[in-house]
Copies of this chain bind each other. A is one copy, B any other.
């Protein structure tokens, strides 16, 4: 299941929902708001999402992972709105019989959700400036820095 939430994420409660007597391994990932990005001091983050497509495309990513590996449960939750330093911006959890598929699917989910879902991140810097964060893959391609600074 995919959720977009404005309230803090509770990973323990989410993990509890994935509990299953057949599950021997649970891999999870949390993205936390860092105090720095590309050399600039970050004060807080703002996430904008287009929720209907985050859900629809997110469920597709989960379905793909379930086709690829034998999973017992796989879910993720993404925050929307203004987040303070240290806050959990995204949680991904995967329960499986064995750890191998739990790790692989967890990694697949976070990688694909970052690249495919309509979610944008605006950094507010300590110096008062702000800017939209470019996508990871675009940054890797080396062209086109920030859209706006």
A65 interface hit (Cβ, 8 Å): no
- Shortest C-beta distance, A114 to chain B (Å), equals 9
Which A residues contact B (CB, under 8 angstroms)?
10-12, 15, 19, 21-36, 85-86, 95, 97, 99, 102-103, 106-107, 110
In the complex, the count of this chain's copies comes to: 2
Which residues of chain B come closer than 8 Å to A33, judged between CB atoms?
Answer: 24
> Roughly how many angstroms separate A107 CA and B106 CA in the complex, as a whole number?
12
Q: Are B35 and A31 in contact (CB under 8 A)?
A: no
Which residue of B11, B86, B110 contacts A12 across the interface (Cβ within 8 Å)?
Answer: B11
- Shortest C-beta distance, A45 to chain B (Å), equals 11
Ordered by A's residue number, 11 sampled pairs between the chains whose C-beta atoms are within 8 Å are A11-B15, A19-B86, A21-B86, A25-B29, A25-B32, A27-B27, A27-B28, A27-B106, A29-B103, A34-B97, A103-B107
